[in-house]
Structure 1
């Protein structure tokens, strides 16, 4: 069941697996379990079975991590040209994971080849490149994907402990030959200033041979806090569009969620913007304006609007269950009463399927209401409504 933690014994080892529920946030810490503090060997905690060594993946592009974060946030088309399928795949997966907890809503291909069915679609020059992150190894793609706005070419990985040679920012016009040097080929100008203090800490940690997992955790936390600082103002504004609970009455259609007005949101940033939680300076307004045109804003907004609509339905169901249904039925026709039964049943089914955030007590009361209403109807209707 979603939300439960299972103990799975396998060959003398106990795997404790937490099954995520809809309420869990992506990449959230697993719940702490009692009684395991003194186990030997100490338990190993993985927040995800596919967790990447983020620092190792981003070593050659540490100086441009924030620019790459912006490109991912805006859903920009990006090609990663790497020396091997492994490096290509890991870099693409690292890029798509750097927006957490924001869901990545674009397409991505960790290892794309000339034999893929979308080869013609992705290489055509008759239309703008799609919102895709492509990982490739064949230098042939430098020519065929030359029209893409952002191309990241990575060199051969260095030995562990060596200072990474940082790729340089280069204009797309420099991308002409098949032996193009490593670099980030883009005309994009970052909206936010680079966090130089973070870069110094990471490079110093590498020089002192700090464990890669510690440096990955530092980098992951920085990206997480950056994304949260960007998203929190959106979440606050979206929450303000929700109707007040006191406006929800049992026998009327619930009020509508107010529309998201971009200008109103941008004005709200003056007193509740990302500057409250993030020290980075830059053109936050410009970044939000471009974000509104991206697939990630569309995906985020649709998901939040859906959750709010479900919350409205749940609050409306609670209001019905707290009302005196017998008084309501006195002057209602059989058609209206049957309609109420069908609507209550439909919401119960959705609540049992975790599609509505309804409390167990509310569900129990709704079932009693249905029984009360059905008993008040003529026998022929009772038979119809009680039939499986």
Structure 2
């Protein structure tokens, strides 16, 4: 993770000033402190801090790049997410597959020269808690993105078109799925989304024969 360095306190700054400005500050005598020098010192330290943050951010991004690329390949294509089909699942993250890819292509920005060192580095990272947190965050965000897109598909879906292009069995399956999803509650499935799901389910159900409608009621 990017490193954040705190700006030193006044005691640390005084010490740095004595070493950097020829020992011009006298201990225990605040009147001898040069406010201008202190300001310059803070500015220098701030610039160094910013440079370090940028450096470690770049290193972190370079290190995660192959993992990000592999994870992106696990996410279903957007065109596979439609209002009338179950939301596709993200494929499992296979650590062995990642290590095979890394062994054949050195990640950009890392200075290790031997592939064996790089593979060992990633292997250790994927065995630590930080990787688990990273992966859980990626999965959560990807699922949220798919749910958001799925809901947008529901909002623009033409139920009449579905009824003319799908079988009764598919219609029953969709009704049950919409009703099941409408029972879920999270930050994405709001009351309006629940109302939308139930409305679609009721509209489709009204177009079914009585015997099928009765079978849905008793499930």
Same fold (TM over 0.5): yes
Superimposed CA distance per residue, residues 309-332 of structure 1 (whole angstroms, 9 cap, x where no aligned partner): 222223333343443213445844
In the TM superposition, what whole-angstrom CA distance separates every residue of 1:200-256 from its partner, at most 9, and x where no partner exists?
Answer: xxxxxxxx9671111111122211111111112111111111112233343232222
* CA displacement at 1:291 relative to structure 2: 0.6
Alignment of 1:362-381 (within 5 A): 371=199, 374=202
Q: Is the 8 A contact 2:70 2:98 kept in 1?
A: yes
**CA spacing shift, 1:223–1:299, aligned 2, 3 Å:** same
Separation of aligned partners in 2, 1:322 and 1:272: 43
Which residue of 2 is the match for residue 254 of structure 1?
Answer: 87
**Aligned pair 1:340/2:178, yes or no?**
yes
Q: Distance in 2 between matches of 1:223 and 1:376?
A: 55
Q: Which residue matches 1:351?
A: 188
CA distance in 2, matches of 1:376, 1:289: 51
Q: Extract unaligned runs of 5+ from structure 1.
A: 1-25, 28-49, 58-155, 164-207, 354-362, 379-388
Distance 2:78 2:184 in 1: 22
Q: Are the aligned partners of 1:233 and 1:272 in contact in 2 as well (CA < 8 Å)?
A: no
Q: Which consecutive residues of structure 2, in runs of 5 or more, have no partner in the other structure?
A: 21-39, 207-219
Flag the structure with higher helix content. 2
The residue matched to 1:313 in structure 2 has which SS?
A: helix
Residue number in structure 2 paired with 1:172 = none
Q: Quick check: which one's strand share is greater?
A: 1
Q: 1:281 to 1:326 in 2, by over 3 A?
A: same
Count of aligned pairs: 174
Question: For 2:112, which of 260, 270, 281 is the aligned residue?
Answer: 281
SS at match of 2:187: helix
Relative to structure 1, the CA distance from residue 249 to residue 51 in structure 2 (aligned partners, 3 Å threshold; closer, same or farther) is same
CA contact (8 A) 2:155 2:196 kept: no
In the other structure, the counterpart of 2:126 is 292
TM-score with structure 2 length normalisation? 0.60
**CA gap 1:336/1:235 in 2 versus in 1, 3 angstroms:** closer
* Partner residue, 2:140: 306
Q: Match for residue 159 of structure 1?
A: 15
In the TM superposition, what are the counterparts of 1:1-388 in structure 2 within 5 Å? 52-53=6-7, 56=8, 159-161=15-17, 162=19, 211-269=44-102, 273-274=106-107, 276=108, 278=109, 280-282=111-113, 283-328=117-162, 331=168, 332=171, 337=175, 340=178, 343-344=181-182, 346=184, 350-351=187-188, 371=199, 374=202
The answer as to whether partners of 2:82 and 2:150 remain within 8 angstroms in 1 is: yes
Partners of 1:248 and 1:372 lie apart in 2 by 17
Structure 1 residues 369 and 259, CA, compared in 2 at 3 Å: closer, same or farther? closer
- For 1:322 and 1:273, the matched residues in 2 are separated by 44
Indicate the structure (1 or 2) with the bigger Cα radius of gyration: 2
Cα RMSD of the aligned pairs, angstroms, is 4.1
TM-score (norm 1): 0.36
